[in-house]
Amino acid sequence: MEAVLVLSSLVLISIAWIWLVISSVPLSIALVLTALVCPIATLFMRGRGYAVWPRWVLTLGLVAGLTGLGLLYQDQPERVELLLSGQWMESQRQSGAIQGAVMGQEFTPDRVLWRGNELVFEEGPENSIRRSLGIHFHTAPELLDNVSVDRLPGDQGAWPEVVLQWHNGALTPPGLQRIADSYSLSLTFTPVTNGKVDLKIHLHLPSAQATWLSGEAQLLSTPPWLEQVQAKQRAAVTQKDAAPPEAGLGGVSEPVPPRWHPVSLLALLDEPELFSGSRLRLTTVTGRVHEGRLKGVTDDRRIVLAQAYGSNQVDLQFHPLDLSGIETFSVP
């Protein structure tokens, strides 16, 4: 509604402006220049010969524009602030290519930071945060023993708490909601140079929250728990390198046999081409196990598993919510 009012006001003001200038041509040059340079001033100049109807249309356009901006300020005050400050296009986000929605509102974080045991995404100035999404690991500290966190609805064990904060407008109090479980989360931390950490996140909350977040960002410093994980990994590598190689018959080292490894469901759905043709083992929530090779992922995000029966082939489709585990058969 507010967009229609603003656009209508621009059209009405443009028409009234042109109409006012043309109708004032028979008047003096000073009055013509006033209509051309400052048409709003003609609304207060009675008895100077200006036509009435162009000024009525100009007044209607101004009223429509102010009404539209008022409604826009109630719903999205930050957009009005950008327009009034002359910033017609929002500046590039510091957090990188990460986007989503919080309670149905568009969410593009300006900052991504680790605070205590929380991963926080914030949008807006630091002293006036418009929307934020936090993933609190104080309820599941054991998940921080690895560089990746994967949670699917129905998973057993501890869950991080997701905290949402948002504003519905300047005249309404901010909203706050906490979600304890039953959402989808794939989170990966990758340390890089200079103490920075790249992270990749895919988060989908239940439809009632209308909230999701997806993309990549960077932490400017390494969280303490990640430093501990890195230290453990370096110690494990050093210990493995120091251990003598296992030798088979004749002193020749035996090749490591392939085995089953767990795979993230969200990683499989987002990048199926990496697993195309791979041997997979799918376990359903009812306990059934299906083995085959990945044929692909359909448009409605169903996993297609190809199984060979002699000279024939059968394609099975699985909905992600029907699966409790996915494994791939490969060399570690």
pLDDT at 250: 56
CA 194/CA 171 separation, integer angstroms: 44
CB atoms under 10 Å from CB of 60, counted, come to 15
pLDDT at 178: 93
pLDDT at 145: 87
**Burial 188-215, CB ≥16 within 10 A → b, else e:** bbeeeeeeebebbbbbbbeeebebbbbb
Domain ranges of the chain: 2-75, 98-229, 255-330
pLDDT at 92: 42
CA 103/CA 176 separation, integer angstroms: 10
Q: pLDDT (tens digit, 0 to 9) for every residue of the chain, 332 residues total?
A: 777 888 888 999 999 999 999 998 988 899 889 989 998 888 888 888 888 898 999 999 999 988 988 877 776 665 666 666 655 444 444 444 788 999 988 899 989 999 989 999 999 887 778 899 999 999 888 988 888 888 888 888 889 999 999 887 666 778 899 999 889 999 999 988 788 899 999 999 988 888 999 999 988 888 999 888 888 877 877 776 666 665 555 555 566 667 788 888 888 888 888 888 888 888 888 888 888 888 889 988 899 988 876 667 778 888 888 888 888 887 65
pLDDT at 127: 78
For residue 196, the surrounding DSSP H or E stretch is: none
pLDDT at 232: 84
CATH of domain 255-330: 2.30.30.100
